Amino acid sequence: MALARARRNESGFNYWPGFVDALSTLVLSIVFLLSVFLVVQFFLSQEVTGKDKALEQLNAKIAELNDLLSLEKLGQLNLTDQLSQVRAGLVSAEAERDRIKGLYDGLAGAGSDAAGRATELNKALDSEKQVSSRALAQIEILNQQISALRRQLAALEEALDASEKRDKESQGRIADLGQRLNVALAQRVQELSRYRSEFFGRLRAILGNRPDIRIVGDRFVFQSEVFFDTGQALLLPEGRAELDKLATALIDLDKQIPSEIAWVLRVDGHTDVRPINSPQFKSNWDLSSARAISVVQYLVSLGVPAQRLVAAGFAEFQPLDTAATEDAYKRNRRIELKLTER
């Protein structure tokens, strides 16, 4: 390493790696923010979907009540028409009765020859009276039915008003729930960020100021040579020593963070761009994944909860430096630790 530093000093100070680090930090920060935004949108969409279903059921009930109200109103119109017809018949019957009575009065003085005719007229008058009585009874029944329909209409209108009021209250509760959910998610993100800062601060103090261990944005970056020999995924003794320190910090962190915060430590394996094809590893995918798994398995053996760990292999497809130099290859061979949400 001293020889490499001497060579860099001879060739002049290279600003390019620092620029790439800054740019990578910016890109990863944007990706993280987008991920948080997508998670928030997912939970909101789930919550709003459930409320939309409840609103659909409520709207269906309102539509059913409206249909019933329309039927009741139609029935009331039919009964009103029947009542009008009966009343018209009653008026006609009364007019006929008066006509017959007039004839009877005119024939009363016509003598005994008109007696038979008078008897027939009396019978006709009695018959008309019976018809009139039945018509009055039917009118009374129709009036009772109309009163009942009016009471039903009033009840339906009251139910409809209550449904509309509940709908407005539901809309208000949905809006309030969405606002509270946004606040809760923002608080969770802030709380996890605080624990991440404390965790990284403690790791920085534990691991010390080493050139092969760096903090890039929200990640700890270890050069692969800290843990593994070239082309291998078996942890070296000095790498195990560093992971022992990391495990202690993780176990303490798991005790501090509330259980409702779903956090994980993601272990990412990266290789340089040069392909590998050995009996053990057929590609850089295999090598980077195997290295990440080795780190995770060792942390689990030290007592770190397995549900708090994630292993991921990125092969050569997330480089920090795209130059075709030994220094760039070395920077790209790395293990990254990122504290994030599950």
Model confidence pLDDT, tens digit, residues 242-297: 899 889 888 888 888 777 778 899 999 999 999 998 999 999 999 999 999 999 99
Residues 6+ apart with CB under 8 A from 19: none
Question: What pTM was computed for the model?
Answer: 0.45
Model confidence pLDDT, tens digit, residues 14-38: 677 777 878 888 888 888 888 887 8
User: Residue 229 in 3-state DSSP?
Assistant: coil
Query: Would 22 be classed as within a structural domain?
Result: no
Q: How many domains does the chain have?
A: 2
Of 294, 298, 302, which Cα lies nearest the Cα of 252? Answer: 302
Length of the chain equals 342
CA distance 119 to 127: 12
- Indicate whether 88 and 124 sit together in one domain: yes
Of 122, 115, 133, 130, which Cα lies nearest the Cα of 100? Answer: 122
In one letter, which amino acid is 298?
A: Y
- Indicate whether 240 and 271 sit together in one domain: yes
Query: Would 236 be classed as within a structural domain?
Result: yes
Domain limit, last residue, from 158, 187, 216: 187
Do residues 87 and 136 lie in contact, with contact meaning Cβ atoms separated by under 8 Å?
Answer: no
Domain containing residue 218: 208-341
Helices and strands, number each (H, E), in the chain: 6, 5
Tell the residue number behind the tokens 């403690």, with chain if given. 202
The whole-number pLDDT of residue 213 equals 73
CA distance 97 to 120: 13
Which CATH number belongs to the domain containing residue 95 in this structure? 1.10.287.1490
CA distance 330 to 212: 10
